[in-house]
Each structure stands twice: as structure tokens, then as C-alpha cells.
Chain A
Amino acid sequence: MVPTWHYLMLSAALLTIGVIGVLTRRNVIIILMSIELILNAVNLNLVAFSRQLADVSGQIFTIFVITVAAAEAAVGLGILIAFFRNRDTVNADEIDLLKW
């Protein structure tokens, strides 16, 4: 059996890659995808501990995290489409004015 800390290391790696993606990229769509990577890292962590502690709460929380991720992706992409219609750009660096 693979020890739990292996899964935690993998989850930390995924989290780091997601954080780099969010902080480094300009394209808002890629930023949203990196957020999905972060949420997946969290899910992996939850399920690994659920298996270790034989407690199903970890998996239930994973379902909630996936639900929230879906809701957040939908709203985020809706905002992106609305913004693209107005400013014709998806570059995060150009979205820097509170009021036109």
C-alpha cells in the first residue's frame, strides 16, 4: 500500500503548480484553469486522509468541493464573457480600471 504522505506530496506539488499558474499567467482562462488545479490538489488530500482514517467525511467534503468548483467556474466564466464583450480582451493585466 502506498503511504499517505506520498499522496500529500503529490497534492502539494499540484497546489504549487496551480499557484504558479494563478500568479504568473495573464490569460484569465488559464488562471481559472489553475484554480481548478488547486481545488483538485485539495480533493486528493481529502480522499487520501479519508482512506487513511477510514472516515467517509473526507469523500463527502470532496463532493462539496467539486460542487463549489463547478459553481465558481460557471460564474467566473460568465464574468469573463461579460468582460470580453465590453473590453474585448482576456488579458488580466489590462483589466486594471475600476471605472472606465
Chain B
Amino acid sequence: MTLLIEAFEPYLLPLIRIFVVFLGISLIVAYLVYAERKILAHLQVRLGPMRVGPHGLLQPIADGLKLLLKEDIIPAGADKRVFWLAPVISVIAAFTGFALVPFAPNFMITDVNVGLLFLIGISSLGILGIILGGWASNSHYPLLGALRSTAQLVSYEVALGFALVSALLLSGTLSMRGIVEAQAEQGLWFAFVQPVAFFILLVAAIAETNRNPFDLPEAESELVAGFHTEYSGFRFSLYFLAEYAAMVLVSSIAVTLFLGGWLRPFPSVAALDFLEYTPVAVLLGAAAWCFRATLRLPAAREWRWQRLLMLGLAAGAAAIGVALLTPGRFLPWWQEGQPVFPLLDAIQGVFWFMLKVFGFLYAFIWFRGTFPRYRFDQLMNLGWRFMIPVAIANVIFCAVAIVLSQRLGWNLLASLWLGTAATLLVAAALRRGES
């Protein structure tokens, strides 16, 4: 027995991390679905889920149970094994990418020195899940939806790759951890020196996850439900899970490459050190809001469990917020040279990372509630005739800018902004050429 444990010893910590990340991402995805419904509802001046639990907070659990208990229908003439395999490929591709994402300097599953390349490869594998699912359904709506979706994904993957290369020019390494450390070293987030690449990454990320305004392949008014029309019950929940996990994954990639990953805003400026208390402020704010919501719930007897639930949430958030502020003296492993609030310090990286990722996810949901859908030929036109040329121009001009700053001694920031201006000129010329 001890031999077994000794054999497992080097793999124990990564296994625990994998477990934590898997659980965490599943929770985030489940509540992302709820958040999307709530945010879309508020954008459309209605309330969204309110009945299942206080303010609909238990809706994801009800949805999950419903999907698990639904009848599993396989269309007649469908290829059973490929029908089973396709959502599994999508989910595996979506979740495997999280092994390469650096959540915090002290919390990442692994750091591969070609991490970014493998992330691109894994998103290419995800495309296979869509095309096989569409074909295996033996029905024309899924087939058309899968073909359209695959064409869109492949086109925007090229633009995504070029946008990532623009960030790589500045960081000099493909390792995800190395990219964040390069941003820490150079003292700036790459989004401020490569705004065009950031914008292209944002657009390509939305197209890669089949979200509005690029969601023609799964739009209800167009193709019933696209490639997952014939899927029901647990298989559909796998596709659903894969789509939202892919959303979180591309947001994580964008945050790591352009928004500084786990870095606090202005980490080198000592005057802004009070920003380190933001987690406590956010948790206490959430606790206050839940408490206010408890008071506003009806005082009737049948609402009692909902009021208790909200109160429990408020108490939990407040407790965690206060626990973060325990001074080091009360913790057994604390020594003199370590920071004053070690728990707060440990959670800094993950907090800022998740805050930025949630900001991105809010943007995804906001765009869904705001923009009309692109028609498929407009979508392909945009991808091939605007995004890719502008992305290539960005890579060329920013590479020239970096060489100029290295050889001629120009200021790096100034030359990069010059390169960005040249790219914007190219983009304007392309737009005028089309209209």
C-alpha cells in the first residue's frame, strides 16, 4: 500500500489541481448559463429565472437534472458510435485546454514550453466534434449546420492564430506562464500596445465559440439548432457544457495573452497597493447585497427556506471575506518575511484572473443581447477579406516596429503605436475598398 502511495507521490499534487480545476470550471459553466439568462433578461427589461430558489439561483441544478432525466433519442439511420463519440470529443477538447491555462503564479496544472501551440491544436480538435456530430445525425439540418459551423471555425482560426502571433512577438515565448511574466517584466498589458490584435482576438474568439453575432450555425430561426438538433438529454448537455467551457477557455487565453493574466492593475506602482484588498471588498460587497436581497424577499412562511438560503450565502461571503484578513501570526506556517495577510496574498492571482475572465464573459453575453446576427456569406467575407489581412498587416508592422526599436534605439512603445497606426490605415483602406 505504501509502495502504491509512493509511486503516486509526484502525481498527487497535479491530480488535486486537475480535480479542483475540473470542479471549478464545471461550477463556473453551470452558473454562466444562469448568468447569461439573467443578464439577457435584464438587457431585455424582464427578470429571467426567479422561481427556482431565491432569484433563480438554483436554476442550473434544475436544468442539469432535467437534461439528465430526459429521454435519449437516437435518430433512425444515425451512425450510433459516431453519434456517441462526437459530443465526447467536444467536451474533451474544451476541458483539456484548461490544463495549460495559468490561473495564478502558484496555481497552474502544468507549464508546457509550447503551451500556446497546443491550445491552438486542442481548439482544432474541438472542430472535429462538431463536424462528426452533424454528420452522424443523418439529417439535413444538422449536416448543413455542421458544415457552416466548421467553415466558420476554420476561417476564424487563421485570424486567431495571427492575433496570437502578434502577442508572441512581444513576449518571445510560447509558454503561457512565460507570456504573463513577460507582461509583468515589461510593466504593461499587451492589450495597450497591440489593440488591433486584441480586437481581432476578441472577434475571432466569439466566432470560434459560435456565439452571437456569429451564431448562424446554431440559430433557431435558421437551422433549428444546427449541428446539435438531433441531440437530447445528456448528449445535448455535453455539447452545451463544451460550448460554455470553450467560451471560458478562449476568455482565459485572451486574458493571459493581452490582459496580463494574474497581474493586478499596475503591480509596480506602490501607491496603488490598496488594490490588493479588492477581493475582500468584493466579497463583503456581495455579502451586503445578498443580505439586502434577503430583506427584500417576501416575509411569508413558504419563502422561509429561500430567505435562509440567501442569508447563508451572505454569511458565507462575509466569512470568507473576513477570513482572508487573518494576520499571519495565527497561521502555523507563517514566518517573519512573508506578507502580512498570507491568505489574501495567496488568492490575489486567481482573483484578478477570474475577475478579468468574468469581464470577458460579460462582454460575450452583452454582445449576444445587442448585435443582430451575421449572414453566413457576410461572416465568411468578414473573416477572409477583412480580419485575416488586417491581422497579417498587424504582425508585419509590429515586427518591423520591434526591429526598429532594437536596431535604431527607438522607444518600444512609440514604435509599436506607430505600427498599430499603420495597421489601422490598412484596415480603413480595406473598409473603403469594400463599400
Chain A–chain B contact at Cβ < 8 A? no
B interface with A by C-beta (< 8 Å): none
A interface with B by C-beta (< 8 Å): none
